[in-house]
Amino acid sequence: MIRLKTPLSKNDVKTLKAGDQVLISGRIYTARDQAHARLKDEKNLAINLEGSVIYYVGPTPEKPGYIIGSSGPTSSYRMDELAVPLMEKGVVAMIGKGERSDAFIEAMQKHRAVYFMATGGAGALLASKIKSSRVVMYDDLDAEAVRELEVEDFPCYVAYDIHGGNLFKHD
């Protein structure tokens, strides 16, 4: 088990290998389809993407007295093309679920970024690792708004590393 603290350094990313189990702590940002479509051309970025981690999630509404609702990953492939301009802006890690395109993997390696998988459908478990949550951009997108999350020991698996390792290739 590898413990990581955000923002991630280039060295953090370099040491990770596909199949490693990691626990991430610190600040991460959420964004899915619609937020990505807006962020790529955003002139008034309210968040610092340098060394940042983007989590592909649209949580359920939080119940009164709770920080957030169920918060598991959505399928990452829908963000494959839209993730590239964000890596150009400094994003070094993405958390989602499932396989992604070869073009994405190539771009990810070029930008020395890493792709983590969180267990899909484990939204209740993953919510318990989120210590604070606030919407920082695109409030109108509801569940798809950009949130700043503070996470503690958020469990992920390294899916694609910068050395060509691939969690989904196991034949």
CB of 39 to another protein, least distance (A): 16
Nearer to another protein, 61 or 164 (CB): 61
Q: Which amino acid is at 109?
A: Q
Nearer to another protein, 89 or 128 (CB): 128
DSSP structural state of residue 7: S
**Phi, psi for residue 6 in degrees, rounded to 5:** -85, 155
Residues 115 and 108: beta-carbon distance below 8 Å? yes
CB of 52 to another protein, least distance (A): 21
- The residue ranges that bind another protein (CB under 8 A) are 19, 21, 34, 57-63, 66, 69-72, 74-75, 77, 97-99, 117, 119-125, 127-128, 142-143, 155, 157, 167-168, 170-171
CB burial string 29-40: b at 16+ within 10 A, e below: bbbbebbbeebe
Which token pair is 150?
């503070």
Nearer to another protein, 15 or 21 (CB): 21
